[in-house]
């Protein structure tokens, strides 16, 4: 069975310092992130993964000065394009965008998709505390619509006020993990999607399709509760739950247990769920084994493994 993994990260070693400067320290997995060559392909082969859709690790080009972000995003995208050329058929890529300069971000989206053949865009959460319902980001979302490619909405490090509030009084290491991969990233990304609905993003951008990882960033579990509270804010509109389910796709990245999978399938359906491993933070072999043994019909297993990604990303 063809296997396409759609949230697979990289970070060229020459950009580690600049990309991770906002966090004060580089991510632990620098070596596998930097490898876009034979080592990465060997990991894919060992797990039975045919295609990795590459993206730069968060926050990519979103935490640098606006004047620098466009050059940084271009350099990161050029490196991904080189890997795709070197391993045709094994790699595709999502464009990193200079979100601090939204007009430049829209221009880079056009360059990456039209000139470099990228199959989607990735946006790492908020940009300087601003979310995608902000009017200044309309050119980027309009570019995604015009190009016909999805936007992968990936978690990023929380705004300082959020990290301070939820980290206060905790051991610094515990605070850092609780507000990121241990919980905070995921609720923030689910909330970002709901902000987009309430802020009218999908009314203004009816063709926009968004992908979120981590088995839906808590949306499958909480969508109907949110719907019952929030839909009354939008009388005369499609319900919040239906809006989310017609604009948002999920990936399993980082999740290899059955209960959340069943919740995602029940609430979103098998046509909106895709395989991803969050490499190198997730274990590709473990994710592949999970998909192989998960309680899915043969038809749904094919949808999650490759058919949905082929259709959405044009792979
Ligand atoms: C991710 O990209 O989702 C990620 C990281 C770092 C640690 C864990 C994780 O970038 O899931
Ligand atoms: Zn990730």
Instruction: Give one DSSP letter per residue of 79-122, joined into a string.
Output: HHHHHHHHSTTTEEEEEE--TTSHHHHHHHHHIIIIIT---EEE
Predicted confidence (pLDDT) at residue 291 exceeds the cutoff of 80: yes
Report the pLDDT averaged over residues 217-237.
97
Question: Which residues neighbour 181 within 8 Å (Cβ) at sequence distance 6 or greater?
Answer: 155, 254, 281
CB atoms under 10 Å from CB of 261, counted, come to 21
Measure the CA–CA gap between 202 and 247, rounded to whole angstroms.
8
Is the CB of 166 within 6 Å of ligand 1? no
Q: Write down the pLDDT at residue 155.
A: 97
Measure the CA–CA gap between 189 and 153, rounded to whole angstroms.
7
Predicted confidence (pLDDT) at residue 136 exceeds the cutoff of 90: yes
Is the CB of 221 within 6 Å of ligand 1? no
Domain that holds residue 122: 4-313
Which tokens in the block code for residue 29? 């997995």
Report the pLDDT averaged over residues 100-129.
98
CB atoms under 10 Å from CB of 235, counted, come to 6
For residue 214, the CA-to-ligand 1 centroid distance in Å is 10
Q: Write down the pLDDT at residue 17.
A: 86
Question: Which residues neighbour 74 within 8 Å (Cβ) at sequence distance 6 or greater?
Answer: 108, 111
pLDDT tens sequence across 21-75: 777 655 666 789 999 999 999 999 999 999 999 999 999 999 999 999 999 999 9
Which atom of ligand 1 lies nearest, measured to the CA of 57?
A: 10
Q: How many independent structural domains does the chain possess?
A: 1
Q: Write down the pLDDT at residue 169.
A: 97
Which tokens in the block code for residue 152? 């992968």
Predicted confidence (pLDDT) at residue 157 exceeds the cutoff of 60: yes
Q: Write down the pLDDT at residue 21.
A: 77
Q: Cβ-count burial of 266 within 10 angstroms (0-12 exposed, 13-18 middle, 19+ buried)?
A: exposed
Report the pLDDT averaged over residues 106-111.
98
Q: Which of 123, 278, 286 to mutate to test the pocket of ligand 1 (most atoms within 8 A of CB)?
A: 278
Kindly report the CATH number assigned to the domain that includes residue 277: 3.20.20.140
Is the CB of 58 within 6 Å of ligand 1? yes
Q: Write down the pLDDT at residue 212.
A: 99
């Amino acid at each position: 069975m063809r296997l396409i993994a759609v949230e697979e990260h990289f970070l060229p070693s020459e950009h580690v310092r600049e990309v991770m400067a906002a966090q004060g320290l580089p991510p632990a997995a620098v070596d596998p992130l930097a490898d876009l060559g034979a080592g990465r392909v060997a990991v894919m082969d060992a797990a039975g993964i045919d295609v990795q859709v590459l993206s730069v690790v968060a926050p990519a080009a979103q935490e640098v000065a606006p004047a620098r972000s466009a050059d940084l995003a271009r350099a990161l995208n050029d490196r991904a394009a080189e890997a795709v050329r070197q391993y045709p058929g094994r790699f595709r890529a999502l464009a990193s965008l200079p979100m601090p300069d939204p007009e430049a971000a829209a221009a880079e989206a056009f360059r990456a998709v039209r000139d470099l053949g990228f199959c989607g865009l990735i946006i790492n959460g908020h940009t300087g505390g601003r979310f995608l319902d902000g009017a200044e980001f309309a050119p980027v979302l309009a570019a995604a619509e015009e190009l016909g490619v999805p936007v992968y909405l990936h978690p990023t490090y929380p705004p300082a006020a959020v990290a301070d509030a939820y980290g206060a009084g905790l051991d610094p290491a515990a605070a850092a993990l609780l507000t990121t991969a241990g919980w905070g990233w995921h609720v923030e990304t689910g909330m970002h999607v709901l902000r987009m609905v309430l802020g009218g993003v999908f009314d203004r951008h009816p063709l926009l399709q968004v992908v979120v990882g981590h088995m839906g960033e808590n949306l499958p579990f909480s969508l109907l509760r949110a719907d019952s509270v929030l839909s009354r804010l939008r009388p005369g509109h499609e319900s919040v739950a239906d809006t989310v389910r017609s604009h948002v796709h999920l990936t399993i990245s980082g999740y290899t247990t059955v209960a959340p999978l069943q919740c995602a399938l029940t609430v979103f359906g098998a046509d909106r769920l895709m395989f991803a491993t969050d490499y190198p933070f997730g274990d590709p072999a473990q994710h592949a084994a999970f998909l192989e043994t998960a309680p899915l019909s043969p038809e749904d297993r094919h949808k999650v493994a490759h058919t949905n990604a082929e259709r959405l990303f044009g792979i």
